[in-house]
Structure 1
Amino acid sequence: MLKKWGMVPFILIPLALSAETKIGYIDSQRILSGYRGGGEITQEINTALQDWEKKATTLKQEIEQMIQEYESQSVMLSEKSREEKRAAIEEKQREYQEFIQRIWGAGGEAETKQREIMQPFVEKINEIINQIGESEGYTMIFDIAGMGVVYANDDLDLTQKILDELNKEYVEEEEEVFAGFQNIEFYVLRLKEMNKEAQDCGCGQDIKEKLRAALIAMENYKEVRATKITNAFTLANVTLSEDKLTEEDVKTVGRYAYADFMIMGEVEKTGEIITVRISVIDMKKEEIVKTAEVKSSGEREEDIIPMVSNLAAEILPSMKKD
């Protein structure tokens, strides 16, 4: 789940000594992999690294291009010109190596950035560890990840207790009850634009936003948080955009996002007429429970909004919990 960054040590400070020694331990690797917000952290780190990765790729491509040009032109060049080109290649290679070392070397900018992003998470864990240590009378709490521990009594393992506290906000949100009735959580994906006219008007995103707004307006219907969807894409290792997902991709993302229903579809525009086709996936059954097709009477807002309202009304009866 967590990629492109290594372990960040937790500051496990020995707690006040007591008459009776009480020792516990955690496995920070399990905490990192079991934290429900880990995907969001990974996404933030990967986003921060993208510019550096692009720069490294560009430098490498420039070197390859220079070498290719040198090899293809070598026989036609004077010795002086060949030396100048070789020197230019060597200089570019030095620039590339220095850049790699500055960014990804020990103590480099990538490591610094990763620690900066991780710091709030690390502080949160240390706060929980200290709270447990003080309230339950622990003398010391160790992190056994990477220590080569041969044996440790499971009764001393506090990892799950730390994870439960860290993930509490996610569990509470999933168990949220509105007026005695559990909310139905859904997510509408950007619709696939089936022709150039639909692409030119951005119909896929426009219909998505209008449909989600129509559903949110209904009592007890709630959209899955965007951060949960981002996290789900990361955990599912799905890199395609929303409108490019297959049905199986959507089901996988829906499982990780703990959605009740996922809504996918396509849109086509011919002249002033917009055609929308929708599939509703019940994540408990993991199958399509409703398909619908609607057409607008025109391309103006006053034509599209009633169409989307009719679409919402048509699919709502299928979006019920058993």
Structure 2
Amino acid sequence: MDGSIDTARQWGTLMKTLVTASAIVALASALGGEEVKIGYIDSGRIFTEYRGTADIETQLNEELRSWQGEERTRLGEIEQLEAQLESQRLMLSDESQRTKQTEIDRKRREYQEYVQGVWGPGGLLEQRNIELTQPIIERINVAIEKIASAEHYTMVLDIADGFVVYAVPGLDVTDKVIEELNREFEPLLAAGEKLKLAVFDVHEADKMARELGYGEQITQFLEAALVATNLFELVRGDDFQRAMTENMVVRTDEQIELSVALDVGRDARAEVILLSEVSVTPSEIEIESVLYDVMTGRELAQGRGTAANEEELESAVSVLTGSILEKVRL
């Protein structure tokens, strides 16, 4: 059995290598005289050395401990009922014994269903692992695409998939990908530098906000407050308008989608973008803003401010801005 498994694995690796080699040859042929530049990564190393995976592991372990605690509690209840039945068996009638055994059987079925629902195929553990790792995978893909585009790679392979059996070290871009990913844990700004910021029009989230027209006023307050920190340089004018036009963004009552806003930010050469909305009730004006990293799409910080009336809007924006600055790594 062991030998057949190893042989199958070796055969699979060989076939992958041959298929990949054929694909590379076909690609080179299709590109004609164009230079083909191929690099590779080790996704296993990237997952291990990317600092963003630590939070996911911690969160998954916390949830796992909760599931394990529930599993032990359910199993303990079954064992307690079985012990009670055994100790009372001589005093119980046949009908009472059957009733207790039926309850034990029911709890054991529920226990097995719980275990399967958490640890089985498609269970909670698998689902949460996918949910938590998907954003990481997307960030890794963005980093790979950025490096591949900047250094003109035609193709980037993953040696963790067994597609590469030999390559010269100079083609390995793993370290570059890891370095790019871990930039998010470094200070956003060096001394004296400013972040290029694109501030989108504040979305008026409800009918009352639209009727009062607070969006434009709050947008101006936000721009002024952030520029006053001397940490941001606003991207505006022709560059911003051109990026909006190229991405077919028109002013509507709908909030701009994050993916579209990130595309606009990249095209406008911004490093971060700010998306905000205002909602109004008879007793309160609420403003919420979120700052995003344009390259990764990662949320960097968020802030909230409230005002009782229009006269307090600027003060609410000041509170919101202060909250954002506290959370941004500077």
TM range (shorter): 0.3 to 0.5
Larger radius of gyration: 2
Larger relative contact order (CA 8 Å, sep ≥ 6):
1
Q: Which has the higher helix share?
A: 2
